[in-house]
Structure formats: structure tokens, C-alpha cells
Amino acid sequence: MTEIFFMFFQASLPTFTQANKLLQREEPCIHILFDRMLELVRSFLKRFISPRVIRRATDITDSSVRASKDQLSDEELVGYATNQMLRRLEREGDITSLQQKNFLAGVRKFFSAATEYLTSRFPFEDALFQHAKWTDFRTRQSAKFASVLYFVEKYNGVINFSHTEIDSLQSEFLDYQMLSDSFLPEDVGKDGFKLDSIWAFLARAKHADGQEWFSLLSKVARLVATIPHSNAGEERTFSMIRKNRSESRPWLNAETTVASIIITKLAMTQGTVLKFEPTKELLLKAKTATARYNRKRRNDS
């Protein structure tokens, strides 16, 4: 049975991996997170629940959907290769019918438990994720101005618009919805419609008279883009600090030396530091400063 379990996990675990990769992204993903959460739940429901039930459901996160008696048969529960392996092992006498039955029952419980875990842990009830979808250029025409107002009211300490500016904001939102798909240049759209790239371009868009087209709307969109979709960025920073201020180098000052190292490494990920060529004068000053620092450390110790 060990090989059967390996085959099952090999086919099932990539679903979690794809979701984890989304959460590990550095670019803003808050605008697509709600739909991706639903897709993940749906991807597990369809593994054991009849498509009829899922298609009729108004809310697939409801417990009644995964508790439905209208489920897939045992043969439909696992893939073709796993089914063939089960039949061969039973035919050759390596497993019994009871073992095969218990395995399929466990598979069904696995999918049900995974779905229950996702629906109970994911923040489906948080309206922020649903309202953030208006910033997605691909779904702009189905967005509502109420979603823009949601962030204006929620973060009124950051964005404090007057009533006149709210009217202008709505006008900009309507213009945003009426933009054609060809409005974005190819170099912006080809990177996968990244939220920060698109709104950086829209923030620079101007009318024929030179006035900014989306001056107010882009402020709200950029605020949405700063909302983290996971804590992966913070975890990367802590991991980077631990790798630099290790047990073998505990004397590094967190506010000066470690901070300088982290800033340098973060700049390297942007690619700009790789193009930097220091002058001879700068190199001489750096060597002098390094020598002074080393002498000071030796004197302090």
C-alpha cells in the first residue's frame, strides 16, 4: 500500500504547492487573493463532491456543500493510474478488498478535511479581499465604486478626500472602467498584469491638457497595493537577519552593521546594484573606512 499512498500524495500535494507559491510572491496579490482562495476550495471539492452540487451552490464555502451525499464514486475518487495500481495489487493478492476500501474511504476523508480546514482558516468573511478586486485591470468593468469608497472610508486617516474630491474620484473610476484593453502598453501587460506596474502606469496617464487622469484613483489603488497578502515578506527579512547575525557573529550591531547588510542585499534583488560601478575615489574611501572600523573593533575588544 505504500506505493499507492505515494501516488496519491504526489497527485494531491501540488494543489497546496501552487497556493503556497502565490502567498510567497513579492509583488502585490491582494486583488486576486479572494478568487484564488475560492479556487483552492473548489479544487478540493471537485475531487469528491459531484459537479452538480458545486455548480448549484451559491456559496461553496458553506458546510452543506462538502457534507452533501451526492459524491463521486470510488472509481472517480482517484486518478486512472492509482485505480489501475489498486486493481493490479488486488488481483495479484498484495492487498485485500478491505484494504482497498479503507484506502478510498481515507482519501474521501482527506479531501473533506482539507476543504473544512481551508473554509475555516481562510478569511472569506473579510470584506477587504472582495473589495480589493476593483484594482484588477482585467475585471474593472464588473467592479463597483462602492469598493473604492470602502478603502477611502476604512483608511480615512491616510486618504482624507473632501466631498468634491469624492465626486472627482467617482468620475475617474468611471473613466477607468471605460478604458479599452489596448490602453496598457505591451511592456506593462506582458508581465502578468502586476498590480504595481499597472497602477504606476495609470498614475502617469494624463489628459490632452497635461492634467493627471487618475490622480485620486491611483492614490487609493496604491494604498491597496501596500496591503500585504501574506507574511512571507516579513519571514524572508527575519530569515535574512538570522543568516547574517548568527551565533558565530553575535557582535554585529542590529541598528548599524546588520541594517546596512540587509539594505545592500535588498538592493541587490532589485538589480540596480549590479549595474553600479564605484569610482576609484569611492573605493579608496571605503577601504579607509573599513580599516578604521576594524581597528576600532580590535581596540574595543
Q: Would you say residue 246 lies in a domain?
A: yes
- Whether residues 21 and 104 share a domain: the answer is yes
* Cell reading at 299: 581596540
Give residue 271's pLDDT.
Answer: 53
The count of domains in the chain is 3
Q: Would you say residue 97 lies in a domain?
A: yes
| Separation of alpha carbons 54 and 42, rounded Å | 8
Of 225, 240, 262, the last residue of a domain is: 225
Q: Would you say residue 282 lies in a domain?
A: yes
How does pLDDT run along the chain (301 residues), one tens digit per residue?
788 888 888 888 888 888 888 888 888 899 999 999 999 999 999 999 999 999 999 999 999 998 889 999 888 888 888 888 888 888 888 888 899 899 999 999 999 999 999 999 999 999 999 999 999 999 999 999 999 999 999 999 899 999 999 999 999 999 999 999 888 887 776 666 788 889 999 999 998 888 999 999 999 999 999 998 888 777 777 777 676 666 666 666 666 676 777 677 666 655 555 567 788 898 999 999 998 988 888 887 6
84 DSSP β-pair partners = none
Q: Would you say residue 90 lies in a domain?
A: yes
User: What's the farthest any 2 CA atoms get from each other in the chain?
Assistant: 82
Non-local (6+) Cβ contacts of 108 within 8 A are 48, 71, 77
* Cell reading at 277: 560601478
Q: Would you say residue 143 lies in a domain?
A: yes
- Whether residues 6 and 103 share a domain: the answer is yes
Q: Which domain holds residue 268?
A: 232-300
Of 174, 199, 225, the last residue of a domain is: 225
Q: What is the pTM of this model?
A: 0.73
Q: Would you say residue 26 lies in a domain?
A: yes
- Whether residues 219 and 254 share a domain: the answer is no
Give residue 133's pLDDT.
Answer: 95
| Separation of alpha carbons 73 and 91, rounded Å | 20
- Whether residues 120 and 175 share a domain: the answer is no
What does the angle CA 223 – CA 224 – CA 225 come to, to the nearest 5 degrees? 90
Give residue 188's pLDDT.
Answer: 73
Of 72, 104, 125, the last residue of a domain is: 125
| Separation of alpha carbons 189 and 99, rounded Å | 52
- Whether residues 10 and 120 share a domain: the answer is yes
- Whether residues 292 and 196 share a domain: the answer is no
- Whether residues 76 and 119 share a domain: the answer is yes
* HSE-up of residue 287 (Cα within 13 Å, Cβ side): 7
Closest alpha carbon to 127 in 199, 209, 30: 30
Q: Would you say residue 130 lies in a domain?
A: no
Closest alpha carbon to 194 in 21, 25, 4, 54: 25
Angle between helices 2-24 and 80-91 (to 10 degrees): 160
Q: Would you say residue 283 lies in a domain?
A: yes
- Whether residues 7 and 80 share a domain: the answer is yes
- Whether residues 48 and 73 share a domain: the answer is yes
206 DSSP β-pair partners = 212
- Whether residues 120 and 6 share a domain: the answer is yes
- Whether residues 19 and 95 share a domain: the answer is yes
Give residue 37's pLDDT.
Answer: 93
CB 133, CB 35: distance < 8 Å: yes
> Read out DSSP for 34-76?
HHHHHHHHHHHHTTTB-HHHHHH-S-TTSHHHHT-S-B--HHH
> Read out DSSP for 221-269?
HHHHHTS-SSSHHHHHHHHHHHHHS-TT-TTS-TTTHHHHHHHHHHHHH
- Whether residues 160 and 220 share a domain: the answer is yes
